[in-house]
Amino acid sequence: MKTEQEASDRTARCFNRLQAVLRRDGSIPEIGLPVQAIGGFLARLASLDSNNRFDTICVGAGEREGRILSPLVQQLHYGLAHGIGRSGNLTERQPKAIECRNRIEEAGSVGYIDAFIQSTDKNFLVPVGGSIVATFDKKSLDMIANFYPGRASIVPSRDLLITLLQLGKTGLKELYNTQQTNFQVLHATMQEYAETIGQKVMEVKMNRISLAVTLKGWTSQQQNAFGAQLFSRGVTGARTIPNGLSRTIDGYEFFNFGSHSSREHDGYLNVACAIGMTTQEIEELVKVLKEETPKWAFSSSINAKDRSSTRQDNANCITALPCAEDIQANESCA
């Protein structure tokens, strides 16, 4: 038994040294590694991804949370589902996306759109890296297909095929129906949470994926700290958007970068119910939100309610006071 333990410890130390060298050098080793070491290295990398953490309960509150439906696809990718970078900058950490399917349908019906692109990870629960080009007529699609000069990787198509074969049409429809049901659950729970801190959920009727809770009265520093704390608790995808953040890209300045609008706002917390989100994740999300919300935010809400109640009581008292004619009548009777 002791010999087995020593052998196990020796192997672990060897692997850890190998990991340390790869991290330190950041380059391909001079001598190739054995297959077991490569597999272990990929598994270690995957364990660092936010959706694979086992040191905390992970809550995917965004649109791209590395959810993979098929265990076979998960195995083929060693659990590395997120890809790299984000829209517009490959060196940044988290991908992002917006929901615009209703506008696409409306524009397509009047002939304003030739084609649109859907990410396979957000729509079909496969790793980041694939997309579907769709058109409203086959002729346009053929033109796009003939335009590509070379060959393309089969991996995204393979992953999508495996997933669709596992789901079937019925399973795919159930997946989308569940997302809509869970969105209503998320909306209701976020409304309850917002009321407890004296805030509100912004009503954007055409958006059936994302929600925003106002953070009125919070400073930009408080909003950023809140978002960072949520991430440290395993809540991925949720973002706090302070007012006034600017970013310059290629000489163009974008005011309120990240909020998709240059209009002034009080700052807000953005969460999403994407395909694959569960009611358990929603419950855990709200639990973490309540635990990480600063105590003064709850106190401010209580004080605001007390002031409102006091004003209402004063209004009732004023209404109950007798008018001058009633006072004179009472005096004459006396």
Q: Which residues pair with 255 in a beta bridge?
A: 246
Distance CA 96, CA 241 (A): 14
Alpha-helical segments (H) within 115-257: 120-124, 138-147, 155-196, 220-232
Name the amino acid, one letter, at 120: T
Encoding tokens for residue 328?
Answer: 């004179």
CB atoms within 10 A of CB 67: 19
Give the end-to-end CA distance of the chain in Å, rounded to a whole number: 106
Looking at residue 28, its pLDDT comes to: 62
Encoding tokens for residue 164?
Answer: 């669709």
pTM, two decimals, is 0.65
Helix (H) or strand (E) holding 71: helix 71-76
Q: What is the dihedral of CA 118, 122, 127, 128, to 10 degrees?
A: 60
Cα angle: 154, vertex 177, 66; to 5 degrees: 45
Looking at residue 23, its pLDDT comes to: 75
Distance CA 94, CA 85 (A): 6
Encoding tokens for residue 33?
Answer: 């590694």
Encoding tokens for residue 42?
Answer: 């990929």
Query: What b/e string do you get for 222-238 counting C-beta neighbours within 10 Å, with b at 16 or more?
Result: bbbebbebbeebbbbbb
Distance CA 80, CA 48 (A): 10
CB atoms within 10 A of CB 60: 25
Residue whose entry in the numeric block shows the structure tokens 């007798």? 322
Contacts of 223 (CB under 8 A, 6+ apart): 215, 240, 241, 242, 267, 269
Q: Where are the beta strands (DSSP E) in the chain?
A: 59-60, 115-119, 131-135, 210-214, 235-236, 239-241, 246-249, 252-255, 268-272
Contacts of 243 (CB under 8 A, 6+ apart): 220, 256, 264, 265, 266, 267
Looking at residue 286, its pLDDT comes to: 95
Structural domain spans, the chain? 59-295
Looking at residue 95, its pLDDT comes to: 39
Distance CA 36, CA 38 (A): 5
Looking at residue 319, its pLDDT comes to: 40
Q: pLDDT tens digits for the chain (334 residues)?
A: 568 888 888 888 887 888 788 778 777 676 667 777 777 777 777 777 777 766 777 777 776 677 778 888 888 777 777 665 554 444 444 434 334 566 777 777 776 788 888 889 888 988 888 888 888 888 888 888 887 777 777 788 888 877 888 888 888 899 999 999 999 999 999 999 999 999 999 988 888 899 999 999 999 999 999 999 999 998 988 999 998 778 888 888 888 887 777 787 889 999 999 999 999 999 999 999 999 999 999 876 665 555 555 455 554 544 443 444 443 444 333 3
What is 59-295's CATH topology? Aspartate Aminotransferase; domain 2 (3.40.640)
Residue closest to 214 by CA, chosen among 230, 229, 237, 195: 195
